[in-house]
Chains A and B, each alone.
Chain A
Amino acid sequence: MSVPLTLLGLLEREPSHGYDLKRDYDAFFGRGKPLPFGQVYSTLSRLARDGKVVISDVAPGAGPDRKRYIITDVGATEVEQWLTQPVDPEPHLQTVLFAKVVLALMLDRPAAEYLDTQRSAHLHRMRELTEIKRAGSLVDALLADHGLYHLEADLRWIEMTGARLDALRKEVRQ
């Protein structure tokens, strides 16, 4: 899971204080592993240094931090690129895919298209592994099968998520 990109995505939804960002991150993406405050502020500092966010004003927030962060065009472009690029099809990437889908729905982006792009990238990798299997030894086939079954599991998740997008959209945009 990319914490900087996820925070940027949350900021694209609306300008926020560090405290609110941490609360939303923990609610949607933390899954029992809350983001430490220190990491939130160090990440926001780096994003500000790199011109991806700016501090707009000092206003009352829900917590002690009074700085409100706004995403810049540079930051928004980075979020856009991250969401539209498929993730390298490797096993155990479900947390990244999960974050992308939830953020895309929050930001009213075309989540179904991202899933289609990811499906295509997965199938491309599966074709490569299938070719290795057809041309190689039994040991090669065994290794390729391991990759193929994991990618297939991701694809099943992609199909199931695609079928649930409308319901998910309602839930994350409540």
Chain B
Amino acid sequence: MSVVIEARDVEFSFGQTPALRGASVAVEAGEILAVMGPSGSGKSTLLHCLAGILVPDSGEILFDGARVHAMAETERSSLRRDRFGFVFQFGQLVPELTAVENVALPLLLSGVHRKQALPRARAWFARLGLDGLEQRRSGELSGGQAQRVALARGLVAEPQVLFADEPTGALDSLTGEQVMDLLVGAAREQGTTVILVTHEPRIAAYADREVMVRDGRVNAPDRVAS
């Protein structure tokens, strides 16, 4: 398998506070990677740098051969919209839109016509056990339902890489595992690479591999022989 996205010796500071101090990680195409670490270790900052949301102070971010760290904001914005998907812990759905419109949002923003975008979005509702909830707004959904809608939105445009930052952090154990089960199943079916930030070992266990972020550096343990 080939590396699809990579951070090389990335450094990033919030003002005077260093968050990443030479972080390096490479993720293969189709791989599900868990990024673990204690609070404040820099794992979310690393995800944001990989996704082109933050620009490193130094070091490189490479995606599919492109130098993300050197791109202009408009170029990174297109990359995030067209090639990446996102699932976060909280507050992701636009409250004014229905669930199906929320799912269709990445397609609509990419210029897909509403007539094509909405049926594609609707197809995800059956797939993720959300039948009948298409017209609900975010306030009318349970936490698990809202997170599944967010997951559908993250995957609807068939991104090459899905970035998931504590996607089950606000859910109870059972609901969280159901969401992970769906996330992993859908990502594998589409061949989507997943970068999953979590501090929960049971969630990390859904990944193919884990790396630890500690004090702004990545520690990739030796793989344990099967």
Contact = CB atoms under 8 A, between A and B. Distances in A.
Given A116-B212, A126-B201, A151-B201, A121 B206 contact: no
B205 A119 contact: no
Interface in A78-126: 86, 116-117, 119-124, 126
Contacts of A152: 201-202
A123 B219 contact: no
Nearest to A151: B201
Interface string A115-145: 0110111111011011000100000000000
B204 A123 contact: yes
A163 B201 CA distance: 17
Contact of A163 (B38, B181, B202, B204): B38
Contacts of B205: 123, 126-127, 129-130, 148
Contacts, number: 44
A116 B219 contact: yes
A149 B184 CA distance: 20
Interface in B185-226: 201-202, 204-208, 210, 212, 219, 221-224, 226
B140 to A, nearest CB: 30
B224 A124 contact: yes
A119 B38 contact: no
Nearest to B219: A116
Contacts of B222: 117, 120
Contacts of B202: 126, 130, 148-149, 152
Nearest to B207: A127
Nearest to B225: A124
Given A117-B221, A127-B205, A129-B205, A159 B38 contact: yes
A76 interface: no
A97 B210 CA distance: 21
A116 B207 CA distance: 17
Interface of B: 38, 181, 184, 201-202, 204-208, 210, 212, 219, 221-224, 226
12 contacts: A117-B222, A120-B210, A120-B223, A123-B201, A123-B204, A123-B210, A126-B201, A126-B202, A126-B205, A127-B205, A152-B201, A159-B38
